[in-house]
C-alpha cells in the first residue's frame, strides 16, 4: 500500500518517469475501495438491468426491436465514446472530482429514464446515464492503481473484477424483482439513493489525486473517436431497418435524404466510421511526434502486455455480455416467463462470477494471472456453448442455470485479472489515460457486441420464421410477410399475443422454433468471439515468479 496518514486530500509529490506526479496519502484505502465499488456497482448493473426490462418497455412505451437495441447499445456507445476524454480530464482536474461529478450526472440520467414516456426520451436519458458512468470508471481504476501495490493491488483488482462481473449478473435479478413488484421504472429510480450513499462515502474516504499534467485537450481527437464509434454502431444496429447494402427504407436526417432503392445509409455509415477511426490514429501519432497533448498515447501499445491485453479486452467483450441481451427476450417470448423469474435465472451468472472473482487472487498466485484470464475465457466459451445446446422450446429455461453458472465462473476469472494484467507494466503516472483506454476497448466491444449479436438474432429470426411459414404454405404470402414483420419488429414479444388467438397454434409453434434456433446461432457467434479473444491472449508475455509472489514478466 502506498502510504498511510490522514484520509483528507493531503498530497505528496513523487518522481515517476521524470515527471511530477501527485499521489494521495490515506489511512483508509480499503474504505476508499468500498466507496468506489458502491459507485461502480450501479453503473455496471445498469449496463445489464435493461435486458430483463425490455419486454415491459415494449408493452408500456412501445419500443420496437430497433429501439430495444438502442436502449441497450446507446449506454455502451456513449460510455465508450467518452471514456478516453474523461480519463484525460480526471488526470488533470482530479480523479475524485470527476467521480463525484459522474455520480451527479448518472443520478440525473436515472431520474429521466425512470420517468420516460416515449422511446426517444428513454434512449436520450440512457445516454446521460452513460456519460456519468464514463466519468466514474477510469477515475476509479486509476485511484486503485495508485492506492495499492503488490499483493494488496492484486486483491483490490480482484474485488473490482468480482463486483464488475457480479453486478452484471445481479442486474437482471434486481430488474426482474423491481419490474414485478414495483414497475420497470424503479429499476432506474433505485440508483438515486445508492448514488447518494456512494457520493458521501467517496467524499469521506477517497482523497483527491492527479495524473500527469498536460496542456491542451485534443478536441479533434475527441470528435474523431466519438463520431467514428457512433457511426459504426449505428450501421450495425440499423442494418435491419434500412438494408445492409440496398436501401429498403428512406433515411432522413436534417438536409440528408437517402432514398430507398439505392445504396443504403448503413454501409456508408460503417465506412465513414472506420475512416474516422483511421484518421484518429494518424492524428494521434502526429501529435506524439510534435510533442502535443494526445487523447491516446499510442506509445503505450508498445508495452506488449498492454497492447495485447487491450485487443483481448475488445474481442472478448464482443461476445461476453451480448448473450445476456438475447436470453431475456427469448425466455419471455418463447416460454412466457415473467420479469422476476427471468431475472432469477440470469442471476445464476452472479453465483459463478462472485465465486471465481473472489478466488481469482489465490488461483493467480498458484498459476499466474495471465493463465487465470485464459482459464476464464475457456470457461466462458464452454458456458456459452452449453447455453446454446440447452435452449429448447420444450425444455424448461431453468435448465439454463447450470450453463450460466459455468459462464459466470469464467467471467469472474477473466474480469478479475484482465485489468490487473493489462495495467501491470503501465507507469502509475499514466494510469488514468491507460485505464480509460482499456475501459474504452471493453465498452466498444460491448456496444459492438450487442449490435452484432442483436443483428444476428433478429436477422436469423426473420429468415427462419419466413422459411417455416413458406414451407407450411397455409397462409398467403402477404400474411406471411405481415407475421414475420410483426414478430421481428417487436423483438419476438408478439408471439405471446398470438397464442391467445384461435387457429394460430401452428404459427406460434413455428415462431417459437425459429426464435430458439436464432438464439442458438447467436450463442454460437458469441462463443466464437470469446474463443478468438482466447487465441489472441497467447500473444501476452509469460508470468514469472519473484519477490515471494507471482508477478508479470516485462512486456516492453
| Structure confidence by residue, pLDDT tens digits, 379-412 | 999 999 999 999 999 999 999 999 999 998 998 8
**Do 33 and 173 belong together in one domain?**
yes
The pLDDT value given to residue 424: 81
**Do 154 and 287 belong together in one domain?**
no
Q: Is residue 554 part of a domain?
A: no
Q: Is the pLDDT of residue 215 over 80?
A: no
CA angle 137, 139, 143 (to 5 degrees): 120
Task: Write out pLDDT tens, residues 247-263.
Answer: 888 877 767 788 888 89
**Do 298 and 278 belong together in one domain?**
no
Q: Is residue 104 part of a domain?
A: yes
**Do 330 and 443 belong together in one domain?**
yes
Report, in angstroms and rounded to the nearest whole number, the Rg of the chain calculated over CA atoms: 23
240 lies in which domain range?
A: 218-292
Using the structure block, give the residue that is written with the C-alpha cell 459504426.
Answer: 232
Residue 56: which CATH number?
A: 1.20.1250.20
> Could you tell me if 407 and 380 are in contact, meaning their C-beta atoms sit under 8 angstroms apart?
yes
Overall domain count for the chain: 3
**Do 181 and 224 belong together in one domain?**
no
Task: Write out pLDDT tens, residues 56-115.
Answer: 888 888 887 678 777 877 887 787 777 777 777 777 788 889 999 999 999 999 999 999
Last residue of a domain, one of 259, 292, 325: 292
Among 129-138, 159-168, 207-216, which range has the highest average pLDDT? 129-138
**Closest by CA position to 379, among listed 205, 521, 542, 533:** 533
- Average pLDDT estimate for 30-35: 86
Q: Which helix (H) or strand (E) holds 533?
A: helix 505-537
**Closest by CA position to 275, among listed 225, 220, 315:** 225
The pLDDT value given to residue 555: 39
Last residue of a domain, one of 266, 292, 318: 292
For the record, the C-alpha cell of 487 comes out as 414478430
**Do 244 and 203 belong together in one domain?**
no
**Do 116 and 224 belong together in one domain?**
no
For the record, the C-alpha cell of 401 comes out as 442455470
Among 274-278, 363-367, 447-451, 519-523, the minimum mean pLDDT is found in 447-451
- Average pLDDT estimate for 502-518: 90
Distance CA(239)–CA(254), nearest Å, equals 20
The pLDDT value given to residue 201: 93
Q: Is residue 549 part of a domain?
A: no
Q: Is the pLDDT of residue 548 over 60?
A: no
Distance CA(537)–CA(281), nearest Å, equals 23
The pLDDT value given to residue 179: 79
Q: Is residue 1 part of a domain?
A: no
Task: Write out pLDDT tens, residues 431-459.
Answer: 667 776 787 787 777 767 877 888 888 88
**Do 198 and 224 belong together in one domain?**
no
Last residue of a domain, one of 292, 308, 333: 292
- Average pLDDT estimate for 503-520: 91
The 3 state secondary structure assigned to 63-121 is: CCHHHHHHHHHHHHHHHHHHHHHHHHHHHHHCHHHHHHHHHHHHHHHHHHHHCCCCHHH
Q: Is the pLDDT of residue 7 over 50?
A: no
Q: Where are the alpha helices (DSSP H) in 115-190?
A: 119-147, 150-181, 186-189
Q: Is residue 42 part of a domain?
A: yes
**Do 473 and 413 belong together in one domain?**
no
Give me the percent of the chain exceeding a pLDDT of 70.
85
The pLDDT value given to residue 67: 81
The pLDDT value given to residue 556: 37
**Do 184 and 259 belong together in one domain?**
no
**Residue bearing the bigger pLDDT, 543 or 107:** 107
Q: Is residue 556 part of a domain?
A: no
**Do 334 and 197 belong together in one domain?**
yes
- Confidence bin at 199 (pLDDT 50/70/90): very high
The pLDDT value given to residue 546: 43
Q: Is residue 261 part of a domain?
A: yes
The answer to whether the pTM exceeds 0.75 is no
**Do 122 and 203 belong together in one domain?**
yes
Q: Is residue 5 part of a domain?
A: no
Amino acid at each position: 500500500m502506498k502510504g498511510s496518514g490522514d484520509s483528507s486530500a493531503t498530497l505528496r509529490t513523487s518522481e515517476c518517469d521524470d515527471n511530477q506526479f501527485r499521489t494521495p496519502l490515506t489511512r483508509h484505502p480499503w474504505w476508499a475501495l468500498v466507496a468506489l465499488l458502491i459507485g461502480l456497482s450501479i453503473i455496471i448493473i445498469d449496463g445489464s438491468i435493461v435486458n430483463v426490462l425490455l419486454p415491459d418497455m415494449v408493452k408500456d412505451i412501445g419500443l420496437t426491436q430497433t429501439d430495444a437495441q438502442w436502449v441497450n447499445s446507446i449506454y455502451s456507445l456513449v460510455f465508450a465514446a467518452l471514456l478516453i476524454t474523461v480519463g484525460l480530464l480526471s488526470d488533470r482536474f482530479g480523479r475524485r472530482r470527476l467521480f463525484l461529478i459522474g455520480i451527479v450526472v448518472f443520478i440525473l440520467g436515472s431520474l429521466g429514464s425512470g420517468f420516460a414516456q416515449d422511446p426517444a426520451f428513454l434512449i436520450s436519458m440512457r445516454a446521460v446515464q452513460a456519460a456519468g458512468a464514463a466519468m466514474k470508471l477510469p477515475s476509479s481504476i486509476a485511484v486503485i492503481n495508485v492506492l495499492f501495490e503488490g499483493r494488496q493491488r492484486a486483491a483490490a483488482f480482484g474485488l473490482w473484477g468480482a463486483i464488475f462481473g457480479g453486478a452484471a449478473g445481479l442486474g437482471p435479478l434486481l430488474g426482474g424483482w423491481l419490474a414485478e413488484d414495483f414497475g420497470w421504472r424503479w429499476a432506474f429510480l433505485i440508483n438515486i439513493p445508492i448514488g447518494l450513499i456512494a457520493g458521501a462515502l467517496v467524499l469521506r474516504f477517497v482523497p483527491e489525486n492527479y495524473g500527469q499534467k498536460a496542456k491542451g485537450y485534443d478536441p479533434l481527437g475527441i470528435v474523431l473517436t466519438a463520431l467514428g464509434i457512433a457511426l459504426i454502431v449505428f450501421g450495425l444496429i440499423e442494418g435491419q431497418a434500412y438494408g445492409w447494402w440496398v436501401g429498403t427504407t428512406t433515411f432522413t436526417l436534417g438536409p440528408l435524404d437517402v432514398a430507398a432503392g439505392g445504396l443504403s445509409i448503413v454501409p456508408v455509415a460503417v465506412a465513414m466510421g472506420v475512416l474516422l477511426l483511421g484518421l484518429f490514429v494518424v492524428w494521434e501519432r502526429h501529435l506524439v511526434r510534435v510533442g502535443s497533448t494526445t487523447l491516446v498515447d499510442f506509445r503505450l501499445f508498445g508495452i506488449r502486455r498492454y497492447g495485447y491485453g487491450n485487443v483481448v479486452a475488445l474481442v472478448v467483450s464482443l461476445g461476453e455480455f451480448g448473450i445476456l441481451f438475447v436470453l431475456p427476450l427469448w425466455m419471455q417470448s418463447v416460454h412466457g416467463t415473467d420479469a422476476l423469474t427471468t431475472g432469477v435465472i440470469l442471476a445464476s451468472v452472479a453465483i459463478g462470477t462472485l465465486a471465481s472473482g473472489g478466488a481469482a487472487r489465490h488461483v493467480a498466485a498458484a498459476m499466474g494471472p495471465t493463465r487465470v484470464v485464459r482459464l476464464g475465457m475457456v470457461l466462458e466459451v464452454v458456458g456459452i456453448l452449453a447455453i446454446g445446446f440447452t435452449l429448447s422450446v420444450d425444455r424448461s429455461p431453468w435448465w439454463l442455470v447450470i450453463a450460466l453458472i459455468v459462464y459466470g465462473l469464467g467471467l469472474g476469472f477473466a474480469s478479475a485479472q484482465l485489468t490487473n494484467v493489462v495495467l501491470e507494466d503501465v507507469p502509475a503516472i499514466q494510469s488514468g489515460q491507460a485505464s480509460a483506454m482499456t475501459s474504452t476497448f471493453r465498452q466498444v466491444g460491448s456496444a459492438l457486441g450487442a449490435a452484432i449479436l442483436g443483428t444476428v438474432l433478429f436477422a436469423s429470426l426473420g429468415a427462419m420464421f419466413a422459411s417455416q411459414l413458406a414451407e407450411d404454405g397455409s397462409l398467403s404470402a402477404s400474411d406471411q410477410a405481415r407475421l414475420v414483420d410483426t414478430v421481428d419488429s417487436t423483438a419476438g414479444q408478439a408471439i405471446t399475443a398470438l397464442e391467445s388467438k384461435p387457429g394460430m397454434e401452428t404459427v406460434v409453434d413455428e415462431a417459437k422454433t425459429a426464435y430458439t434456433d436464432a438464439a442458438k446461432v447467436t450463442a454460437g457467434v458469441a462463443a466464437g468471439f470469446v474463443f478468438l479473444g482466447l487465441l489472441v491472449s497467447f500473444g501476452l508475455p509469460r508470468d514469472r515468479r519473484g519477490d515471494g509472489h507471482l508477478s508479470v514478466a516485462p512486456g516492453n
